[in-house]
Chains A and B, each alone.
Chain A
Amino acid sequence: MTQHVSPPRDGTGKAAPVDGPPPAWRTLTARADVRTLSLLGVLAVLILIGGITQPDAFLDTRNLQLVLTQASVIGVVTVGVTFVIMSGGIDLSVGAIVALSSVWATTVATQEYGFFGILFTAVVVGVGCGLVNGVLIAYGAMVPFIATLAMLASARGLALQITDGQTQVVTVSSVLDLGERDSYVLGIPPLVLVFAAVTVIGWLVLNRTTFGRRTVAVGGNPEAARLAGIDVRRQRLYLYLLSGLCCGIAAFLLIVLAGSGQNTNGNLYELDAIAAAIIGGTLLSGGRGTIVGSVLGVLIFTTITNIFALNNLQSDVQQIAKGAIIVAAVLVQRRTASTH
C-alpha cells in the first residue's frame, strides 16, 4: 500500500483527531488475499491427499481434465449465483432453470435447428427465467427466497411437462462432438474453456466495471446505495438476468457433457452453488465476495468428490464430509473476520 507522507492540509487551522493509518495487512486487498490463500491451502491439502492415496489415478492429466470438466457446469452456475448473493439476494431456482433450459433445448423440435438452435434455446430460456425472477423481485417487491422458490417449482414442473419424464437424447453430432476428446484444445476440454472464460469475465465485471460496483453497493447497504443515486431495483433485475444467463450456459454445457436433456438435470445445484460461494468467502448477507473464492469453492467440492470416488468411498461418507467442510469453512471465515 502506498503511504503518503505529505503533511495533511488542514482547512480550519484547528487540530482534529487523526486516525492512525491502519497497518497494511488490514486493508481490503490483503484480507481478500488471506482468504484466497487459505482456500488454495485447502485445495493443496486435498491434492496431497489425492496424490498419496491414488498416486496413479489422481495425478494424471486425464484426471485433471475430468475434475475440471465436472466442475464446469456447476462452476458457471456458481459465478452467477455469487453475483446474486453479493447483492444480498438468493437464487434457489438455478438447478431448475438448468433443467428447464436443458430439456427445452433438446426437444425433437429444437434439435432440428442443430447446434445453434440448441445453444440459443438454452441461453434464451435461462435468461427468460432470470427475467421473471428479476421482475418479481425488483419490481414486484417479492422476497428473493420466495420468488426463486416459486421459479424452482414451476421450472421443474414445466421441465417435467416437456419431457413427460423421458430422457431426451441428443442426436446433433456437432453438439456431442464438443464433449469428446477430439475437440480438446491443447489438451483442454472445450467445456473447461467456457468455464474459464465465464470466470474471467465474471471477475472483470465484478472488479472492473460499474456493474460490479453497483452490485457490491446494493448488497453492502441497499439504503445507502439508493440514497447515493443508484437504481437499486434495476440492478437487482440485471443480477437475476445474469444468474439466468449463467444457468442457460451451464445447461448447454450439461447437454454437451451428458449428451441428453432430462427434467432431473441440475438436481440440487442451488445448494451446491450457494455452498461453494459461501466457502469461497461470499457473505450470505451480501456486500462481500469474490469470483476467485467461489470458483475455488467449486474446485474444492469437485476435487473431494473425485478423491472419494477414486478411493471407492461411498456416498454416505461423501455427504458427511461435504457437510463437515461447509461448517469448517464458515467457522474459519468467522475467525478470520474477527481477527482482521
Chain B
Amino acid sequence: MTKLTSRRGMLFGAAALSAGAVLTGCTSNDPDDGDDKAAADNQPAADDKPGKQVTIGFAGPQADHGWLNAINDNAKKRAEKYSDVTLEVTEGSNDTAQQIGQIETLINKKVDVLVVLPADGKALTQVGLKAMRAGIPVVNLDRIFNSAQAYRCWVGGDNYRMGLNAGHYIGERLKDKPGARVIELSGPDNLELTQQRTQGFDDALKNYSNIKKVARQAADFTVESGQSKMAQLLQAQSQFDALWNHDDDQGVGALRAIEQAGRDDFVMVGGAGALSAFQAIKADSGVLKATVLYPPTMAASAIDLARALGQGKGVGGLAEYEIPSSVTCYSAVVDKENVDQYMSTGFK
C-alpha cells in the first residue's frame, strides 16, 4: 500500500488549489487500516493520558490552498489536545532548499520526533535520512520519500481508492439503468494522482457492464478551468447520467457551468471534501449528491503517531508492540446520509 502516493506536484504554485480535503478520520471508519485514532479532534484520542513530554517538529509546505490549510490546522489542534506534546511548527515553504534548511534546524534543536509533509518527496529524502540517522524518528505525511529508510512511518491518502469509491457509488446508483452514460472531469493530467484517481474510477466501473464512460476532460484544480471544461463537456454530451469531478474546488466552476447551461438531468459526485460541497449535498437541491474524501485529518493522525513514537508506545486496538510503518487513510464517500458527521471538517 505504500505505492499510493503523494500529492507532490500539486504544491507548485498556482496550479495547486487542489483536492480539498476533509478533517475526517483518516481511519475512523476503517479498522483495517491500522490504528485506532479517532478523527475529528473532539473525539477522544486513543491514549490521552499524559505521559512523557514529547517535542514534535512539524514541517509542511506553504498553505496556498484550503486542503493544506486544513492539514496545518489539524496538526496544531491535535497537538494542543495533549498536555505532554510541544509542537515546533516551521513556516510553510514550497521551496525545497528552504524546507531542507528548516528541517535541519529542527534536527539541530534535537526535537524528539519529526512530522514532515515535504514540498517534494523525492527532493527531501536526504534530509529525512539525515534525521533518521540522528536518531529522530520521522513521520512522513502524504507525499512519500524515495526511500523507506528516510521515515519511520508514512501516513497518507489513497488516490486510487478515491476513484474506486466514486466509481462504486455511481455504479450502485445506476446499476439498474441500461445503457447508462458517465463522464469524468479530472484534475491536471500531469499529476500522478490524477492518473491514479482515473484508474480507480475506471476499474470500479468495470464491475457494471451497463455503464459506459463516454467522455473525460482534464481541468487544473481551478474554478476557472472547472467552469470552462465543464461547459465544453456539457455541450459535447447532450445526455448523460453521472459525472465524477476529481476536485471540489474546480467543482465550484463546474457547478457554475452546469447552472449556466440549465442542466439537472444527472448525478454529480465530487472529490476532496470542501465545505461548499458538503453544504450542497446536505441541501440536496442540485446535481451534487456525494463527494469522496481525501482527508486532512491524516495530519492529526500523524501527530498521534509521532507522540506514540516519542513515548515509546504502540497504538491501542492492535496487537503490535510497535506502531505500523505505513498508514493509508480511507477515501470515504460522503453523501446526504452521513454528511452531518463530516460537516465540521469541510474546508473553505
Physical contact A–B (CB less than 8 Å):
yes
- Residues of chain A whose beta carbon lies under 8 Å from any beta carbon of chain B: 54, 56-57, 60, 62-63, 66, 69-70, 99, 156, 160, 164-167, 169, 179-181, 254, 257-260, 262-267, 305-306, 309-312, 314-316
- Residues of chain B whose beta carbon lies under 8 Å from any beta carbon of chain A: 13-17, 63-66, 68-69, 188-189, 214-218, 220-229, 231-233, 235-236, 238, 249, 252-253, 256, 259-262, 274, 276, 347-348
A69 closest partner in B (C-beta): B231
7 example contacts (A-B, Cβ-Cβ < 8 A) are as follows A99-B14, A166-B66, A179-B256, A264-B222, A267-B15, A311-B236, A314-B189
Instruction: Tell me which residues across on chain B come within 8 A of A56, comparing CB atoms.
Output: 238
In the bound complex, CA of A316 to CA of B218 (Å): 10
Contacts A314-B189, A314-B216; A166 near B348 (Cβ below 8 A): yes
Instruction: Tell me which residues across on chain B come within 8 A of A54, comparing CB atoms.
Output: 236
In the bound complex, CA of A190 to CA of B268 (Å): 28
Say whether B231 contacts A70, CB under 8 Å: yes
Q: How far is the CB of A60 from chain B (nearest CB, A)?
A: 7
Other contacts beyond A57-B236, A165-B65, A265-B222: 20, CB < 8 A: A54-B236, A60-B235, A62-B235, A66-B232, A69-B231, A70-B228, A70-B231, A165-B17, A165-B63, A165-B64, A169-B252, A259-B223, A259-B259, A262-B224, A263-B64, A264-B221, A264-B224, A265-B223, A266-B224, A314-B216
Q: Which 8 residue pairs across A and B have the least CB separation, nearest first?
A: A309-B232, A165-B65, A264-B222, A259-B256, A310-B236, A315-B218, A264-B14, A166-B348
Say whether A258 contacts B223, CB under 8 Å: yes
Say whether B253 contacts A312, CB under 8 Å: no
B276 closest partner in A (C-beta): A169
Say whether B223 contacts A309, CB under 8 Å: no
In the bound complex, CA of A314 to CA of B232 (Å): 13
Say whether A310 contacts B232, CB under 8 Å: yes
In the bound complex, CA of A330 to CA of B75 (Å): 52
Instruction: Tell me which residues across on chain B come within 8 A of A309, comparing CB atoms.
Output: 217, 229, 232-233, 235-236
B69 closest partner in A (C-beta): A165
Say whether A167 contacts B252, CB under 8 Å: yes
Q: How far is the CB of B347 from chain A (nearest CB, A)?
A: 8
Say whether B68 contacts A254, CB under 8 Å: no
Contacts A259-B256, A264-B17; A310 near B235 (Cβ below 8 A): yes
Q: How far is the CB of A249 from chain B (nearest CB, A)?
A: 16
Say whether B69 contacts A305, CB under 8 Å: no
Q: How far is the CB of B66 from chain A (nearest CB, A)?
A: 5
Say whether B15 contacts A264, CB under 8 Å: yes
Pick from A164, A169, A181: contact of B262, CB under 8 Å: A181
Instruction: Tell me which residues across on chain B come within 8 A of A314, comparing CB atoms.
Output: 189, 216-218
Say whether A262 contacts B17, CB under 8 Å: yes
In the bound complex, CA of A320 to CA of B223 (Å): 24
In the bound complex, CA of A166 to CA of B227 (Å): 17
Instruction: Tell me which residues across on chain A come within 8 A of B68, comparing CB atoms.
Output: 165
Instruction: Tell me which residues across on chain A come within 8 A of B15, comparing CB atoms.
Output: 264, 267
Pick from B220, B235, B236, B253: contact of A267, CB under 8 Å: B220
Instruction: Tell me which residues across on chain A come within 8 A of B233, comparing CB atoms.
Output: 309
Contacts A66-B235, A262-B223; A167 near B249 (Cβ below 8 A): yes
Most buried by B among A54, A156, A164: A164
Say whether A316 contacts B189, CB under 8 Å: yes
B253 closest partner in A (C-beta): A258
In the bound complex, CA of A201 to CA of B231 (Å): 29
Instruction: Tell me which residues across on chain B come within 8 A of A60, comparing CB atoms.
Output: 235
Pick from B65, B232, B238: contact of A306, CB under 8 Å: B232
Say whether A315 contacts B189, CB under 8 Å: yes
B221 closest partner in A (C-beta): A264
In the bound complex, CA of A156 to CA of B229 (Å): 23
Instruction: Tell me which residues across on chain A come within 8 A of B232, comparing CB atoms.
Output: 66, 70, 305-306, 309-310
Q: How far is the CB of A1 from chain B (nearest CB, A)?
A: 44
Instruction: Tell me which residues across on chain A come within 8 A of B214, comparing CB atoms.
Output: 312
B214 closest partner in A (C-beta): A312
In the bound complex, CA of A90 to CA of B189 (Å): 30
Say whether A57 contacts B235, CB under 8 Å: yes
Instruction: Tell me which residues across on chain A come within 8 A of B259, comparing CB atoms.
Output: 180, 259
A164 closest partner in B (C-beta): B69
Pick from B217, B220, B348: contact of A312, CB under 8 Å: B217
Instruction: Tell me which residues across on chain B come within 8 A of A257, comparing CB atoms.
Output: 224, 227, 256
Q: How far is the CB of A182 from chain B (nearest CB, A)?
A: 10
